[in-house]
């Protein structure tokens, strides 16, 4: 759980442990129906009726934004999330993907417009903390998993398509994930090897779990890949 104070850090008295830093995200959502008796009044504990909706919102917005920064930033050779955010084009692309994902999540789960707008702003604010030292490697790690059908890239894309929404930023991020290349990331190496061996379209179908019903989306990702 994130610390309740921004940039909170601690270390052992011996100095053996490195500092622990947090972005200060204050809330922990819990299933209201899972409690027996009164829910304890704990700061930051937020009881909700639909925990599944909260989980989807977190993965499809917060995690999507981080992955978007990493994959778009990696194309420009950045190593830190702060560098990605400082680049106006990378920031705009990641912010666009975040807003598209948030719009799709709101359509699917019925979040109130103002609440979702605040959520989006907080997602950017809690990420834009250079002192954290977050890296492109960490945010983009394991693209094979993150490209799966229900994960943070294709998941919100499919929701957007379901609700008839445009999502060109998310398409570009998915294409960029296919090119992610950092030393030592075996998952990234696997993704690039599949693209080289099968071609982009077949690799998108396999890695993203997309079929003929999503032929239009596959074509968009393939086109975006060719434009990078």
At residue 38, what are phi and psi to the nearest 5 degrees? -65, 145
Task: Yes or no: say if 151 and 140 are a contact pair by the CB < 8 Å rule.
Answer: no
Cα 182 → chain centroid: 18
CA-CA-CA-CA torsion sign (197, 206, 174, 148):
negative
Catalytically annotated residues: 58
Task: Yes or no: say if 76 and 87 are a contact pair by the CB < 8 Å rule.
Answer: yes
CA-CA-CA-CA torsion sign (189, 67, 61, 54):
positive
d(CA 69, CA 30): 28
DSSP 3-state percent helix, strand, coil across the chain (nearest 5):
60, 5, 35
């Amino acid at each position: 759980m994130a610390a309740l104070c921004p940039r909170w850090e601690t270390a052992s008295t011996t100095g053996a442990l490195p500092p622990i830093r947090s972005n200060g995200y204050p809330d922990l959502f819990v299933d209201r129906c899972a409690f027996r008796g009164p829910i304890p009044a704990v700061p930051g504990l937020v009881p909700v009726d639909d925990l599944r909706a909260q989980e989807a919102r977190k993965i499809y917005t917060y995690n999507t934004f981080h992955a978007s920064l990493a994959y778009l930033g990696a194309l420009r050779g950045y190593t830190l999330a702060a560098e990605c955010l400082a680049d106006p084009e990378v920031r705009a692309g990641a912010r666009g993907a975040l807003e598209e994902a948030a719009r799709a999540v709101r359509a699917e789960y019925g979040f109130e417009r103002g609440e979702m707008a605040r959520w989006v702003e907080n997602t950017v604010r809690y990420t834009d903390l250079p002192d954290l030292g977050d890296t492109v490697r960490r945010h983009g790690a394991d693209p094979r998993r993150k490209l799966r059908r229900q994960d943070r890239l294709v998941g919100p894309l499919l929701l957007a398509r379901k609700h008839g929404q445009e999502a060109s930023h998310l398409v570009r991020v998915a294409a960029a994930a296919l090119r992610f290349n950092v030393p030592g990331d075996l998952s990234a190496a696997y993704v690039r090897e599949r693209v080289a061996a099968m071609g982009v379209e077949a690799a998108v179908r396999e890695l993203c779990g997309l079929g003929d019903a999503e032929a239009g989306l596959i074509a968009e990702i393939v086109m975006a890949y060719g434009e990078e």
